[in-house]
Amino acid sequence: EGVKPKEYTIVKLKVVAPFVEVMKPFEGKNVYFGAATLRPETMYGQTNCWLAPEGEYGAFQINKDDILVLTERAALNLAYQGHSEVRGKINKLATFKGQDLFGTALESPLSINKVIYTLPMLTVSTKKTTGVVTSVPSDSPDDYAALNDLKTKPKLREKFGLKDEWVLGFDPVEIINIPEYGNCVAPVLCEKYKITSQNQAEPLELAKDEAYLKGFNFGTMLQGEFKGTPVKDAKPLIRDLLIKNGQAIPYAE
Ligand code: A2H
């Protein structure tokens, strides 16, 4: 943890039918996966949601209407940031292991894919943010590498009991243009740094930094109401809009 808190956006991915076994008690309720992102402007390009397979998650009542699935430490932080029934107190309704939630269908704000599925990423940490990460393989090298692992390794899908339809057919969506990098920076950088798996921490770090820097400084939006706007300008506008519409929560840690 750094000295200066980071400003994340928790995007609310709504759980929709068919509910997986452990989610069945929540049918008919407003349950959301709380995905922490630093790039709210990329939400058009979501293809899936990542959880740590061995991670512990909970369902927390954060106000009278909404239930959020995330780590307990994030729920406690949120309880001090205005998102709990009683300040500083959590109301935990259930405990889950990440792998029991795979295949959960989600509807996410701004996403061009109307329904996306919950899948494993081995590098998701439950020690920071919410432990829930929404996946944008067009602009995040980590997401691209992890989705590609699941697509190209049937054994890996089998290991986690993933249905092909949750994974195959979800390709990067063109959401941001960056001169000299094209409309999908992550696959371009994964090739440049010879990244072929989600476990290649060092080249992924380089690719991630380059994607972030070039996207922020030189990117232009290709989708949505800010199409044609520089990423730099669209980013805070999209964040504010999501928050104003009740589709996201500002989160600091
Ligand atoms: B970002 P920070 Cl398109 N474990 O969102 C692993 N990764 C996590 C995480 C966790 N517990 N919590 C959040 N993240 C991811 C979008 C995105 C992100 C794009 C490009 C780069 C990028 C879509 N995934 O992150 O600095 C989330 O993925 C690279 C900066 O370690 C979050 O933003 O706090 C970002 O990492 C937070 O990174």
Ramachandran region, residue 180 (left: φ > 0; alpha: ψ -120 to 50; beta: rest):
left
The contacts of residue 53 (CB under 8 Å, 6+ apart) are: 97, 98, 99, 102, 120, 122, 160
Report CA torsion sign: 106, 107, 112, 114: positive
Nearest residue to 137 (alpha-carbon basis) of 111, 114, 115: 111
**What distance in Å separates the CA atoms of residue 196 and residue 47, rounded to the nearest whole number?**
19
Dmax (CA) of the chain: 51
For ligand 1, atom 24, the nearest C-alpha belongs to: 135
pLDDT given at position 1:
55
Q: Choose the residue to mutate in 13, 41, 56, 133 for probing ligand 1, maximizing ligand atoms within 8 Å of C-beta.
A: 133
Cα 229–chain centre separation: 23
Look at strands 48-51 and 132-135 and give their pairing: antiparallel
The set of protein residues with a Cβ atom below 6 angstroms from ligand 1 is 6, 36-39, 42, 123-125, 128-129, 131, 133-136, 139-140, 143, 208, 212
For ligand 1, atom 2, the nearest C-alpha belongs to: 38
**What distance in Å separates the CA atoms of residue 198 and residue 62, rounded to the nearest whole number?**
33
pLDDT given at position 52:
98
Q: Choose the residue to mutate in 13, 38, 49 for probing ligand 1, maximizing ligand atoms within 8 Å of C-beta.
A: 38
- Tell me, in angstroms, the distance from the centre of ligand 1 to residue 37's CA: 5
Q: Residue 166 has which token pair?
A: 């949750």
Give the count of beta carbons closer than 10 Å to the beta carbon of residue 42: 26
ipTM comes to 0.99
**What distance in Å separates the CA atoms of residue 72 and residue 112, rounded to the nearest whole number?**
30
- Tell me, in angstroms, the distance from the centre of ligand 1 to residue 9's CA: 10
pLDDT given at position 161:
98
pLDDT (tens, 9 = 90+) of the chain, 253 residues, equals 557 899 999 999 999 999 999 999 999 999 999 999 999 999 999 999 999 999 999 999 999 999 999 999 999 999 999 999 999 999 999 999 999 999 999 999 999 999 999 999 999 999 999 999 999 999 999 999 999 999 999 999 999 999 999 999 999 999 999 999 999 999 999 999 999 999 999 999 999 999 999 999 999 999 999 999 999 999 999 999 999 999 999 999 9
**What distance in Å separates the CA atoms of residue 57 and residue 90, rounded to the nearest whole number?**
13
3-state secondary structure of 84: coil
CB 54 within 8 A of CB 99: yes
Q: Residue 7 has which token pair?
A: 């400003």
**What distance in Å separates the CA atoms of residue 126 and residue 157, rounded to the nearest whole number?**
22
* Structural domains in the chain, sorted by start: 7-136+154-171+229-252 (3.90.740.10)
**What distance in Å separates the CA atoms of residue 156 and residue 230, rounded to the nearest whole number?**
38
**Helix orientation angle between 185-192 and 201-218, rounded to the nearest 10 degrees:** 140
